[in-house]
């Protein structure tokens, strides 16, 4: 069985600890780093722990056993699905200063046959805890990041060998470079250059045109375009949270969505004025239909573009972390249903603690965020406040 070399794993840990956390600034001495790592990612455990220790920080390692999630959903009552040990979760959030989550899966079909409504109930139960974490992050007291460790099961789902799958991760995270941290900073500098240029434009609408689809999305003057500092490894996207009250058109997602241990394929969405009026998937449509029943799911909360020239991801990976950053020939456009990004609002973030204020400006409080992706050939036109149109993105590349 193919396993990454010790050198590659140590480089990966270096990226996660010394780049991804605390907005490239390095962690303060004796900060607490909470790491969640599955059993099937065991080879990555020691390199991560070592990198944290060598940086003079405190690691708390949560080792997650494989193959236990199905048992919970099969045996939990509605009350147990909705139960969250709030005092414990509050203590954990208050105690840690940083969080690393390693995505790895030993069986992507573990939850086949489990009712989607059960998973939705569990997700909604976690909303209050996620809000607490987001508040601490807004106050610059907490940073988080996610990465992926490839497994045989994940590779099989993406129709790749394990070596091919892990090589996609190595390439996307620049682990084949002499200094991956420095290379990551250079790439992020480019995505931040693009988002700064976009923020200089007085933009009113984004209009995406495919051969047989089109989508027109309003952008408020108080919105910001953003690029991740280190929250997702890898990340090449430039994104914003648009005005969900003015979205019209339709899009067809040629990339599958892996959600709740199931593959949802060929998602089609149609919006009119402010609402999702049609949603259908050719495969596992019942999961999509369960999702759109949830409050706030029937609006568009993110618009994102990835430049094909900087993304090293060239294959479907059956995991949104990578699939929303795929490069291929034409980059990707993705939109998200459910949760908004508070990073994309140019207000005093303290106002976001006011529930009534959030409702008044249509900021949703959903516990989830679901990206749907198209890599088809398209062009993106910026419509400015004075009505002038600018071709900003074509053939997978930003034109600025």
Residues 143 and 52 in one domain: yes
Residues 237 and 154 in one domain: no
Residues 155 and 273 in one domain: no
Q: Is residue 234 part of a domain?
A: yes
What is the predicted pLDDT for the residue at 26? 62
Mean pLDDT check: name the lowest of 48-62, 93-107, 236-250: 236-250
Collect contacts of 22-26 with beta carbons under 8 A, ≥24 apart: 22/98, 22/143, 22/230, 23/143, 23/229, 23/230, 24/185, 24/188, 24/229, 24/230, 26/55
* Two structure tokens written together for 146: 């996610």
Cβ contact 16:57 at 8 Å: no
* CA–CA distance, 44 with 102 (Å, rounded to integer): 9
* CA–CA distance, 175 with 179 (Å, rounded to integer): 8
Does the structure show a pLDDT above 70 at 361? no
Q: Which residue has the tokens 């010394």?
A: 18
Which of the listed residues 178, 203, 229 is the one where a domain comes to its end?
A: 178
Residues 258 and 165 in one domain: no
Does the structure show a pLDDT above 70 at 349? no
Tens-place pLDDT, residues 63-90: 999 989 999 999 999 999 999 898 999 9
Average per-residue pLDDT for the chain: 87
Q: Is residue 330 part of a domain?
A: yes
What is the predicted pLDDT for the residue at 36? 96
Does the structure show a pLDDT above 90 at 358? no
Residues 364 and 276 in one domain: yes
Residues 207 and 335 in one domain: yes
Counting the structural domains of the chain, the total is 2
Residues 69 and 197 in one domain: no
Q: Which residue has the tokens 């892996």?
A: 258
Question: In DSSP terms, which residues pair with 393 in a beta bridge?
Answer: 380, 398
Q: Is residue 16 part of a domain?
A: yes
Does the structure show a pLDDT above 70 at 362? no
* CA–CA distance, 317 with 169 (Å, rounded to integer): 9
Residues 111 and 167 in one domain: yes
Residues 53 and 162 in one domain: yes
Helix 180-200 to helix 6-18 angle (10° resolution) is 40
Which of the listed residues 161, 178, 195 is the one where a domain comes to its end?
A: 178
Domain region containing 97: 6-178
Does the structure show a pLDDT above 90 at 145? yes
Residues 246 and 202 in one domain: yes
Confidence bin at 162 (pLDDT 50/70/90): very high
Tens-place pLDDT, residues 8-18: 999 999 999 99
The per-residue b/e assignment along 161-197, b for 16 or more CB within 10 angstroms, e otherwise, is: ebeebbbbbbbbbbbeeeebbebbeebbebbbebbee
Q: Which residue has the tokens 């149609």?
A: 270
Q: Is residue 1 part of a domain?
A: no
Q: How far is CA 201 from CA 173, 219, 224, 241, 360, in A?
A: 31, 11, 11, 16, 26
* Count of other CB atoms within 10 angstroms of residue 153: 18
Tens-place pLDDT, residues 182-222: 999 999 999 999 999 988 887 888 999 988 789 999 887 77
Q: Is residue 162 part of a domain?
A: yes
Q: What is the pTM of this model?
A: 0.88
Residues 92 and 138 in one domain: yes
What is the predicted pLDDT for the residue at 241? 83
Residues 123 and 230 in one domain: no
Q: Within 13 Å and on the Cβ side, how many CA atoms surround 213?
A: 19
Confidence bin at 267 (pLDDT 50/70/90): very high
What is the predicted pLDDT for the residue at 120? 79
Query: Would you list the DSSP string of 226-291?
Result: B--SSSBSS--EEEE--EEEEEEEEEEE-S-EEETTEEEEEEEEEEETTEEEEEEEEESHHHHHHH
Q: Which of 238, 178, 169 is nearest to 399 (CA)?
A: 238
Does the structure show a pLDDT above 90 at 122? no
Which of the listed residues 136, 151, 178 is the one where a domain comes to its end?
A: 178
State the CATH number of the domain containing residue 10. Answer: 3.40.1830.10
């Amino acid at each position: 069985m193919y396993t990454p070399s010790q050198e590659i794993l140590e480089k990966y840990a270096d990226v996660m600890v010394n780049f991804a956390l605390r907005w490239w600034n390095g962690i303060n001495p004796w900060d607490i780093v909470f790491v969640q790592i599955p059993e099937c990612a065991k080879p990555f455990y020691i390199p991560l722990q070592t990198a944290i220790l060598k940086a003079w920080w405190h690691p708390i390692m949560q080792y997650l056993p494989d193959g236990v999630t199905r048992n919970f959903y099969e045996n939990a009552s509605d009350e147990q699905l909705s139960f969250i040990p709030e005092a414990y979760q509050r203590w954990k959030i208050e105690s840690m200063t940083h969080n690393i989550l390693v995505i790895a899966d030993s069986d992507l079909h573990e939850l086949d046959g489990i009712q989607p409504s059960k998973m939705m109930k569990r997700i909604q139960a976690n909303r209050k805890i996620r809000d607490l974490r987001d508040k601490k992050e807004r106050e610059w007291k907490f940073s988080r990041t996610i990465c992926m460790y490839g497994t045989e099961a994940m590779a099989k789902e993406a129709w790749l060998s394990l070596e091919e799958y892990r090589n996609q991760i190595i390439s996307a995270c620049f682990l084949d470079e002499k200094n991956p941290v420095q290379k990551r900073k250079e790439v992020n500098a480019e995505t931040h250059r693009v988002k700064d240029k976009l923020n200089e434009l007085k933009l009113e609408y984004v209009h995406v045109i495919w051969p047989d689809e089109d989508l027109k999305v309003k952008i408020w003057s108080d919105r910001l375009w953003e690029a991740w500092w280190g929250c997702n490894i890898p990340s090449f996207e430039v994104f914003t949270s648009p005005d969900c009250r003015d979205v019209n058109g339709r899009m067809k997602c040629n990339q599958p969505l892996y959600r709740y241990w199931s593959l949802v394929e060929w998602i089609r969405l149609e919006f009119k004025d402010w609402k999702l009026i049609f949603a259908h998937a050719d495969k596992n449509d019942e999961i999509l239909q369960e999702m759109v029943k949830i409050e706030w799911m029937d609006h568009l909360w993110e618009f994102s573009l990835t430049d094909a020239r900087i993304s090293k991801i060239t294959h479907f990976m059956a995991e949104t972390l990578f699939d929303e950053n795929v490069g291929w020939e034409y980059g990707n456009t993705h939109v998200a249903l459910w949760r908004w990004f508070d990073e994309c609002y140019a207000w005093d973030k303290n106002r976001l603690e006011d529930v009534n204020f959030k409702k008044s400006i249509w900021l949703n409080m959903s516990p989830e965020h679901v990206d749907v992706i198209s890599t088809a050939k398209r062009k993106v036109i910026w419509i400015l406040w004075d009505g002038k149109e600018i071709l900003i993105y074509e053939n997978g590349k930003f034109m600025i």
